[in-house]
Structure 1
Amino acid sequence: MRRAWRTGLDVPAVLVALLLVAVRPCFAWDSWGGDAGGSRFSPLQQITPDNVGQIVRAFEYHTGDLTARSPEVMRRTKFQATPLFVEDSLIFCSPFNEVIALDPGTGAQKWRYDPKIATNQRPANRYVCRGVTYWVDDKAPQDAACRSRIFMGTNDVRLIALDAKTGRPCAGFGNGGEVRPDIGMKLDWPGEFQITSPPAVGRGVVVVGSAIGDNRRVDGPSGIVRAFDARTGRARWTFEPLKRDGIEAGHANVWAPMSVDEARGLVFLPTSSPSPDFWGGKRPGNNEHANSVVALRIETGELVWAFQTVHHDVWDYDLPAQPTLTRIDTGDRLRDVVIQPTKQGFVFVLDRDTGKPVWPVEERAVPQGGAEGEQLSPTQPFPTHVPALTSQKISTDDARSLLPGLRRSSCGRQFAEARNEGLFTPPSVQGTLEFPFTGGGVNWGSAAFDSTNQILYANTGRAVHLIKLIPRAEAAGFNPPPGHDFGQQTGAPFAMSRAVLMSPLGFLCNKPPWGEMVAVDLKAGKILWRSTVGTTEDLAPLGLPLPWGAPLVNGLAVTAGGLVFTGAMDAYLRAFDARSGRELWQGRLPVPGVANPMTYLWKGEQYVAIGAGGHSEAGTSIGDSVVAFRLARPGEEPSLWSRTIDRPGGRFFAASAAIALAIIVLVIAGLRWRRSRRIERS
């Protein structure tokens, strides 16, 4: 009750909160999203805003990949795993699908399983494993091997089952503990197709999606979702999200984590866009059920309902986030819902039984005039009750200017020359600004929901993509500039290039903040607060910690103790006050923790852990560690690895960074002036 009264809730709201807690099952961080519904909420409240400054590092575990693998291979990795707290162990996977179990208090390795992933392939989405899945076979004897299991999909397209207590393969599952799904077609290269997110499991069925190389070809691999018997590995059903109807396309795969409602027997799929991403002339229509939340019977694969969030996607605005299953107070009653955040920053709230929007969703006219052969949808769905979590418009006035004349010569010029008519401006040969960019809004880190206080929390990213379509006649000899992705889109009349717009100083072209945490009152349809997350310390020259944030693709964890924990593109785990959004604490990591944090209770102490492996695509340092923190014990003092934000040196540190930046700007400005003078003399 003390927590409820402290947040200022009235008596009816407190009663609702108590009821919500009462119907919630006993919590353990036994799923990638905290629970099978992806709430990322923990009832633990030992660590609070009052004592978070007393956190110390409990342990730092290294997988050994950084020393065992070559630098070239490690540059093709992303360590995005969230550990599970199950069987008195922390269990997670490395980017190479090694499954590792640690002692929760010391970080000592208990067991390790290595599936021997080949490192000479070029995986389309880099070597990545976001997590594993835990399942208990309640029909097996208590002491039976593999009664409790760990399921994992792999970069080389295997589904593996391990004994959760020992790490040994489950002999009765498939062939020696693994099954190899049939992709059904020849791949362009071995890494074109992967399984990167944790499987979903319920009612004795385990379900896997896939991650497929984007922008390669029109007839890309199908995004078929596959289900297997969780005990034997026998194939149960398949579901192809994309309704063919004579169209030519592939994908609409499910690369993000799925959610399971065990009581209803439903699995919820966040589907992606059809192939290729940026031209859809050979796939007319809305392309159901791509870009959709899809509910299936988990035992049979039968379609129950689907809700599409983007029609005929040509922006790569697929659904990257796990659907959040929770119960909300709509004002007149409690209601079981699916909350789906998107790359555009939208939040769709759907009835869990029917898929119908809880609050109105409007079809609004969007920019037209697509490339030759394109058949755009005239409208797109816009939620009306919950405001967008991030801005959705960009203009030349938003171009970042750090040097005299820079706006005219670089960022501002690129903004002015591109097509830019707001959200859903179609890709073009001229070049189109896409904002939010394809990694923006809410990404794979997903959202968190505090059902007690009825608040949704999410990390968001803000950057601008320049998308260009390249006529087929020019594509063969096209040499993409540095920093530009290039996709052949074979079978389409256009190839494509894509780049995050950057200034000559290496900063994003749009004004900061570039990464924000947002808190939303769903019932009121109101943004409660926004807080900038991250600095440029581990990305900028000289390690300048400019407080501008960084695009956030990773997620967060919220606790009943009143804190929200998150990593970022700089090497810190952070704690924010869940009520106000004020940043309270930073814990230094060996490299950036671009993964989702989690929290657990071990021998009476609350721990917070995160995978710290950096982010190869963002250019950060690469690592291979899991780091855990807890409150200081008697006699322990917080070290340099842990610091509160409201410290006397903080303002001096920021001022020093600003002075250093000013010196760099003046030096570069001077060099630019001298160069212009030399040009004038010549």
Structure 2
Amino acid sequence: MILLSVLFFLLGIALMVGGGWLLSLGGSLYYLLAGVALLAVSFTLRRSHKLANGLYAVLLIGTLAWALQESGLSWWPLATRMGLLLVLAIPLFLVAWFKSGKGGRVLFSVWLATALVTISPLFMTAPTTVEGQLTRSVTLPEAKLGDAKRAEWQAYGRSNLGQRFSPLDQITPDNVEQLQLAWQYQTGDKKGPQDVGETTYEATPLKLGNALYICTPHNWLVALDADTGEELWVYDAKVPSDSQRQHQTCRGVSYLPASDGQPLPEMKKASQPAETLATMQCDAQLYLPTSDARLVALDPTTGARCANFADQGELDLMHNMPFKQSGYYYSTSPPLVAGGVVIVAGSVNDNYDINSPSGVIRAYDVKTGELQWNWDSGHPEETAPIGDDETYATSSPNSWSIASADEDLGLAYFPMGNRTPDQLGMYRSPAEEKYATSVVALSLETGQVEWVQQFVHHDLWDMDTPAQPSLLDLQTDSGIQPALVVPTKQGDVYALNRATGEPIFPITEEPAPQGAILGDYTAPTQPTSALSFKPEDLTEADMWGATLLDQMMCRIEFKQLRYEGRYTPPSEQGSIIYPGNFGVFNWGSIAVDPKRQQMFGMPLYLAFTSKLVPKEGVDLSQANKGEQGVNSNEGANYAVELKPFLSPIGVPCQQPPWGYVAGVDLKTGQTAWQHKNGTIEDMTPFKLPIKMGVPGIGGPIITEGGVVFMAATVDDYLRAYDMSTGEELWKARLPAGGQATPMTYLNSQGEQMVVQVAGGHGSIGTTIGDYVVAYKLKK
């Protein structure tokens, strides 16, 4: 009895003090009143069980009324508002019952009624769910799928169209449950003690001939037998560790077919490491980008470097850079091979130094490595190859993600980032303003700009266009149009005519919050697409936690931070950035079915905070350690502190779901279905497979059989979904985090295989490993 009284007293004090603080900030009165009620229960408990029970019953009824008013019949918001109080009521009415026989009946009745209301949403459709169905029938049977052979996967998105769609149809919604593990391979490349935090497997393999080609975080290129997973050869690019890199990853390699169009010869297991082989003249070539800013050309059969390309198969990408700090520039994504050139873009570290390498995009001859053109958004009209004694523009916007190409139109499409520093706009030139946070279409022949469509004006939020554009021919009211579909971090999905850049789905300008720091400005309006997954603005009632206490602390922080909706400017006070720079969509992009005219996406909702830190008198010795924490912005007056908006116990402050899967009819731009995705099984020590809708990073693929495959989530599973309904049909436990996009192909026996790289992700804390796993149907 004494312990129970003390517990109510301590909880009451915490809620009363915190509730008073929240109320002083203009927040909810509830927590203060709940604290007073719990103190009253504590004081009366040892004198009168009946009075204490009555007071607690009133507290339960009042809390339920408040919870319903704030969240309605939505399970997670309601359960966490009521949960702690419902649990604490049990010993209270049991003590009264056993002490007096009748003292606990009233409280028990109220407890039972409020508990039933609390659990009732479990038997209802969640308010965030969209129920519907996409057609299974084919709209454009002869849709363009790119140049990749039917049985193969020849580029990161299967082809340069970036569709992530395979014409294979052996696996269907009816038989996908029969998938089983075919083979498993470990690369041997694991995160080491000297590696940066974001050391991660994000690679999608290529399938060419009888081999799979996979790059690892430290830029090994591994060739495996596509039937058995047996290692054929490994090329180690010998990349040294560098604590200045923000990322240590490789998303994939690129392929140049043989000039005569002949398939690769069948390969056998090599007898020595590929990097020890003598260089050779290559016809077909693989291109491996490295995190120490090289591009390596390799023979696909042996792994030997190609003597015909650049300097014995290696091209130094730091040439002509205005600044050459180690670890500040490198390519994490595969280059684009199209139109006789290999086009290389790169990643420039965010928020490290205002004087950083250029974000220039460069095209080299596919055979010789000779520079053909360079497009630098700092000098966008000057695309002729730069002279040996010239340099590119300092810190110009870069394209760190994956590009697409339409060789019939002669265009390459690059998703563009921002000039560093991301949160400080006073260093940008008019040209850099024009091309930042956009998709730009460049001529494959000359590098000249054909069109540009910007998605954020004067970006102060690190809303880089993160995803490869998907190209398909789209049926519209005005006929079939050559379309480009690209998702953005801020949640909009843009459909553009890829020949002209004109919008297919309307783009409108919306008023945006104002009030940047002195010396900077905010754009008065921001664009938004008619097809959008942008979230509703956060409110205090959206703040969440496992208990009333951490909910209250999230509300207090919410009230202390600046927040005026999407595009709230960063500030010295600290601002909530929602969606955060993790993005509603990220590099995993979307997948499109060009035949059925459909899109599959994985929208995510996580708020971040952004605080500008005046440098005077501030110790920045721990800065420059990654995308989260304090980044120093050397040369600028402000550092920036970035972090997820989390409760004191480390869970997101906004209520779940945080992650969904969604299906869209691209003919109309309407979302047909949307369901929460993933469980908290690997987010807690208790391994509870509760489907909450969790974050993730990675991408989906669609097959002609009507099945979507995707891992990505923070629980370690590869999942299969029905494309028409979004129903989860099958899942397989992965040995490590699956933060890479899967792929599918036919083996030599004509069997459809599905392959997932599973090595974990340093930033989101999934299980680290070095696995490649393959599945096929039971015979």
| Partner of residue 149, structure 1 | 285
The structure where helix makes up a greater share of residues is: 2
TM-score by length of 2: 0.76
Counterpart-to-counterpart distance in 2, 1:176 and 1:183: 16
Q: What CA deviation, in whole Å up to 9, does each residue of 1:88-135 have, x standing for no partner?
A: 21111011111111111110011111111112x125232110000011
Gaps of 5+ in 2: 1-132, 266-279, 382-392
Equivalent residues in 2 for 1:371-390 (5 A)? 371-384=517-530, 386=531, 388-390=532-534
Please state how far the C-alpha of 1:243 moved relative to its aligned partner: 5.1
Please state how far the C-alpha of 1:401 moved relative to its aligned partner: 2.5
| Partner of residue 327, structure 1 | 473
Within the candidate set 349, 363, 367, 1:213 is matched to 349
CA 214–631 in structure 1, closer or farther in 2 if over 3 Å, else same: same
Within the candidate set 253, 261, 285, 1:132 is matched to 253
Counterpart-to-counterpart distance in 2, 1:482 and 1:334: 44
Counterpart-to-counterpart distance in 2, 1:624 and 1:340: 30
Please state how far the C-alpha of 1:275 moved relative to its aligned partner: 1.5
Contact kept, 8 Å, 1:427 with 1:467, in 2: the verdict is yes
Please state how far the C-alpha of 1:419 moved relative to its aligned partner: 1.0
Counterpart-to-counterpart distance in 2, 1:489 and 1:583: 44
Equivalent residues in 2 for 1:584-663 (5 A)? 584-602=729-747, 603-633=749-779
Counterpart-to-counterpart distance in 2, 1:240 and 1:356: 23
Please state how far the C-alpha of 1:478 moved relative to its aligned partner: 8.2
Counterpart-to-counterpart distance in 2, 1:284 and 1:268: 22
Equivalent residue pairs, number: 617
Counterpart-to-counterpart distance in 1, 2:511 and 2:188: 53
CA 477–344 in structure 1, closer or farther in 2 if over 3 Å, else same: closer
Contact kept, 8 Å, 1:124 with 1:212, in 2: the verdict is no
Within the candidate set 168, 178, 190, 1:44 is matched to 168
| Partner of residue 177, structure 2 | 53
Counterpart-to-counterpart distance in 1, 2:484 and 2:420: 26
Are residue 554 (structure 1) and residue 675 (structure 2) matched?
A: no
One-letter amino acid matched to 2:492: F
Contact kept, 8 Å, 1:317 with 1:344, in 2: the verdict is yes
Please state how far the C-alpha of 1:539 moved relative to its aligned partner: 2.4
CA 321–140 in structure 1, closer or farther in 2 if over 3 Å, else same: closer
Gaps of 5+ in 1: 1-5, 634-682
Please state how far the C-alpha of 1:359 moved relative to its aligned partner: 2.8
Q: What CA deviation, in whole Å up to 9, does each residue of 1:9-58 have, x standing for no partner?
A: 7xxx85x4224269987543111011111000111111111111111111
| Partner of residue 64, structure 1 | 188
Counterpart-to-counterpart distance in 1, 2:573 and 2:448: 44
SS state at 1:616 partner: coil
One-letter amino acid matched to 1:402: A
Larger radius of gyration: 2
Counterpart-to-counterpart distance in 2, 1:188 and 1:205: 25
The structure where strand makes up a greater share of residues is: 1
One-letter amino acid matched to 1:279: L
Equivalent residues in 2 for 1:419-568 (5 A)? 419-476=562-619, 485-567=629-711, 568=713
Equivalent residues in 2 for 1:312-391 (5 A)? 312-384=458-530, 386=531, 388-391=532-535
Please state how far the C-alpha of 1:85 moved relative to its aligned partner: 0.8
| Partner of residue 177, structure 1 | 313
SS state at 1:408 partner: helix
One-letter amino acid matched to 1:166: T
Are residue 267 (structure 1) and residue 425 (structure 2) matched?
A: no
CA 403–98 in structure 1, closer or farther in 2 if over 3 Å, else same: same
Higher mean displacement: 319-328 or 302-311: 302-311
Contact kept, 8 Å, 1:572 with 1:588, in 2: the verdict is yes
Please state how far the C-alpha of 1:534 moved relative to its aligned partner: 1.9
Contact kept, 8 Å, 2:608 with 2:644, in 1: the verdict is yes
Please state how far the C-alpha of 1:531 moved relative to its aligned partner: 2.2
SS state at 1:353 partner: coil
Contact kept, 8 Å, 1:344 with 1:392, in 2: the verdict is no
Please state how far the C-alpha of 1:482 moved relative to its aligned partner: 12
Equivalent residues in 2 for 1:184-223 (5 A)? 184-185=320-321, 187=323, 189-223=325-359
SS state at 2:434 partner: coil
Counterpart-to-counterpart distance in 2, 1:186 and 1:576: 48
Cα RMSD (Å): 2.5
Contact kept, 8 Å, 2:134 with 2:665, in 1: the verdict is no
| Partner of residue 280, structure 1 | 425
One-letter amino acid matched to 1:328: L
One-letter amino acid matched to 1:554: G
Q: Percent identity?
A: 38
Please state how far the C-alpha of 1:493 moved relative to its aligned partner: 2.5
| Partner of residue 240, structure 1 | 376
Please state how far the C-alpha of 1:189 moved relative to its aligned partner: 4.1
Within the candidate set 139, 155, 160, 1:31 is matched to 155
Counterpart-to-counterpart distance in 2, 1:349 and 1:508: 31
Contact kept, 8 Å, 2:601 with 2:663, in 1: the verdict is yes
One-letter amino acid matched to 1:112: V
Are residue 103 (structure 1) and residue 225 (structure 2) matched?
A: yes
